[in-house]
Structure 1
C-alpha cells in the first residue's frame, strides 16, 4: 500500500489534532497545507515539515491525492467541490455541508468523478464504538427496541470569546454536536426512516462572559437552542435524542440502548475511547474498559487529559478503501444520511409533524485486526 499524499486546507485549531495524529498512520503522508490566512499555513507547515501553499496551488499539486478540508462549516461545500473538480479525493470535517442539497451534490459529484468522499466524525471507529458494534452484532442486548442520546450543556458563551455564530441559522446544538451522536447511532442501529421533534429557544439574548473583545456584551439568538427528537430506525427501534445549550447540569448518559435481552451504555461519542457498561437481563451494570484497545488509550494529556483523540483514523480508512476497492467507513453517503436526519429534526421542530428520512447506509464494522493494520503496529496506538 503506497502513501496517499494529503493536503490540508484550513489551518485553525482543529488542524493541530489531525496533523499530530497523521504520524500514526503509514498509509497517509502530509505534504502541504493552505489557509485563507497565509501566515497560519506557514506556522503549521513549519511545525510539521510540510509545504505552505495557496489554496489554488494545493489543488493543482500533483503529489496531493486527497484534500483534508478543515475549514469552517460554511466553507465545506465550496472547498470540497473545488477539490473534487481538481481530481482529488476529499475528507472533510463535519458536517459534510450545511444543507442536504449541498451534501447531495458533493456525493453525486464524487460518484461522477469516481473519487472517494469521506467526512467526520470518525469517532465511531474508535475503541468504544467498535466494542459497542461487536456487542450489538453478537446480540448482547437482543433485539434493539429503544434508547436515549443526550448532549446537554449551558452553551459556549462562558468560554468562547466569539460565540455568536453558534447561535445563528446553520448553527445550534443539532448541527454542531449532532453528527457525533447520530453517526454513532446509525453505526449501531442502522439507518433512520423518520423523525419527530419539538424545539425551543431558552434565551432570546445571550451574555458573553468569556474573556475577549466581546466580554459582557449580548447578542440575539437566531436558532433553537433546545431540540427534543424521536428517531425511528429502519429496524424498528425508537430513540429519544435531546440536544440543548440551555442546561447547567444533568445526569443523563450520553447514549443508552435497550433491547429484548439487556441494556448497553456508551461514553461520549465525541471521543474515541471510554468505558462502556452492559446490563444483561437486568443484572447490575458490568463495566467494559476500552483503554487497552486500538484507538482507546488517552493520548491528549494537556488540552484534554481525559480524552482518546485519534482524528485522522477516518482518513486512514479512506486511504485503505482505495486499495481494497470499497466504500470508506466514514463515507460521504453516511455523512449525507446524518445531515438528512439533522435537517429533518430541525424541520420537524418547526412544523410539529413527522419528517420522513431517505434510508442511508450503515457503515461496515471495523475489526480489531483491521484497526491495528491501519496504524501499522499495535504499539503505535498508545500515545502519552
Structure 2
C-alpha cells in the first residue's frame, strides 16, 4: 500500500530506516506542520512533501503513519480514518477514554483499519518469552514484575516538554511498552490499583542537553506504581518513573508455579530471555524461538497492511491499543481516587509471530 508519514519528529528516523525492508509498504509522501522539515525529508527520501491538509485529501495515500505528538493523535487519526485511509499510530493511543472510543467508532464507520504502537513486542525478545510461557515451561503464570526508571528525558531529547504535558509522563510514555508486553504474554487485565506522585512542578533542562537551561512546566505525575490483576488470575506490579537519578532498571520478570522468566526490555525488539526452572542449576539463556528477526519500528504498520490484505486481525490492532490505554488511564485515575478500578474493555491476545517470518508474509 502507498504510505505517507504525518509528523517528522525525533522518532520518524527509526521508521524511515526500516521502510525499505517492508515490501508491502511504498513511501510516497511525508507531511509536517513545518514545511521546511517536510521538504528536507522528502528530498532525502525521493518523495513528495505535503501539508497535513494535503495529505488527508491526497487520493494516492492509502495508509498513514501518524507520528504526531500525543495531543494530536486522536484528532488527526479520526480525520484520516474518515478520509478513507488506514492508520498506524504512535503511542499513546489517546489522551482520554472518550478519544479512544471516538477513534474506534471512526474506523468502524469508515470501514478503515487502525493499528497502534508499540510494535517492539513483535520482535524475538518478547515473542520468545511468550513461546516459553505458552509451552508451559514455567507452569501456570502467577505473577509478574515490570519496572522502568530514569531521571527524565530532558537530558537527551531535542523537544522534551511534551513528556511533561497531557499525554506524557512515565506511564503513558514508557509503561505502554511493559503493559503491551504483559498483555501479549499473559492476556488482558481486569482490575488495577495505582499510586502516583509529582516530585516537582518545574524541571530545568541540564547542562549540555539540547535545550540547556530551559524551564519545563510539569503537568503530569512523574512516578507511578500499580498493581494489576489479569483475567487469568496472575498479579502484576508495575513501576514507571522519571524521578530516579540512577537505577539498574529496566526490568521485566514473569513467575509461574514451576519456574521464572526474565524477559528482555520490551522497549527493544530483541534480546534473549533467561529461564529458571526447578530443579535447576541457575538461569539459562534461551535462544530465539519466535518473533520477527532483526525487527524495527514500522513492522507493526507492515503487519497492519498484511492483515488488511489477508482478512485477519492485525497483531497491534485498535482493540489491544484501547485496552492497554484504558489500563494506563485507570491506573492514573486510581492513584487520584484511592480505589480499585475495574477495566471495562478486553482484547484477544495477538497472534503469535513465527520465528523467521516477515510481517508481510501472511
**TM-score by structure 2 length?**
0.94
Q: Say whether 1:18 aligns with 2:15.
A: yes
Aligned to 2:305: 319
**Distance of aligned partners of 1:240 and 1:140 in 2 relative to their CA distance in 1, 3 Å threshold:** same
Shift of 1:46: 1.3
- 3-state SS, counterpart of residue 142 of structure 2: strand
8 Å CA contact 1:193–1:234 kept in 2: the answer is yes
**Distance of aligned partners of 1:13 and 1:165 in 2 relative to their CA distance in 1, 3 Å threshold:** closer
> Where does structure 1 lack aligned partners over 5 or more consecutive residues?
298-308, 377-384
- 3-state SS, counterpart of residue 317 of structure 1: helix
Match of 1:343 among 329, 339, 346: 329
| Matched positions, count | 361
Q: Say whether 1:374 aligns with 2:348.
A: no
**Distance of aligned partners of 1:253 and 1:121 in 2 relative to their CA distance in 1, 3 Å threshold:** closer
Shift of 1:317: 0.6
- 3-state SS, counterpart of residue 154 of structure 2: coil
Q: Return 138-147 or 360-369, whichever deviates more.
A: 360-369
Aligned to 1:262: 259
Aligned equivalents of 1:367, 1:213: Cα separation in 2: 39
Aligned equivalents of 2:23, 2:74: Cα separation in 1: 28
Give the alignment's Cα RMSD to 1 decimal: 2.1
8 Å CA contact 2:92–2:167 kept in 1: the answer is no
Shift of 1:358: 1.6
Aligned equivalents of 1:61, 1:68: Cα separation in 2: 14
> Where does structure 2 lack aligned partners over 5 or more consecutive residues?
none
Aligned to 1:56: 53
**Distance of aligned partners of 1:324 and 1:210 in 2 relative to their CA distance in 1, 3 Å threshold:** farther
Match of 2:62 among 44, 65, 72: 65
Q: Return 49-58 or 64-73, whichever deviates more.
A: 49-58
CA offset digits 1:199-222 (Å, max 9, x no partner): 122234423214468533544433
Aligned equivalents of 1:71, 1:353: Cα separation in 2: 33
Aligned equivalents of 2:158, 2:111: Cα separation in 1: 42
Aligned equivalents of 2:327, 2:255: Cα separation in 1: 21
Mapping of residues 228-307 of structure 1, within 5 Å: 228-252=225-249, 254-281=251-278, 283=280, 284-290=282-288, 295-297=292-294
Shift of 1:367: 3.1
CA offset digits 1:36-60 (Å, max 9, x no partner): 1111111111111111122222222
**Distance of aligned partners of 1:49 and 1:366 in 2 relative to their CA distance in 1, 3 Å threshold:** farther
Aligned equivalents of 2:21, 2:210: Cα separation in 1: 38
Aligned equivalents of 1:219, 1:30: Cα separation in 2: 35
Aligned equivalents of 1:282, 1:362: Cα separation in 2: 34
**TM-score by structure 1 length?**
0.88
Aligned to 2:156: 159
8 Å CA contact 1:161–1:215 kept in 2: the answer is no
8 Å CA contact 2:127–2:290 kept in 1: the answer is no
CA offset digits 1:249-300 (Å, max 9, x no partner): 333552100011101111111110012101112621111244x976444xxx
Aligned equivalents of 2:94, 2:340: Cα separation in 1: 23
Aligned to 1:88: 85
8 Å CA contact 1:65–1:88 kept in 2: the answer is yes
**Distance of aligned partners of 1:217 and 1:66 in 2 relative to their CA distance in 1, 3 Å threshold:** closer
8 Å CA contact 1:24–1:375 kept in 2: the answer is no
Aligned to 2:166: 169
Mapping of residues 20-169 of structure 1, within 5 Å: 20-160=17-157, 162-169=159-166
**Distance of aligned partners of 1:59 and 1:124 in 2 relative to their CA distance in 1, 3 Å threshold:** same
Shift of 1:86: 0.6
CA offset digits 1:159-180 (Å, max 9, x no partner): 3354333223332100111111
8 Å CA contact 1:191–1:361 kept in 2: the answer is yes
Aligned equivalents of 1:213, 1:47: Cα separation in 2: 24
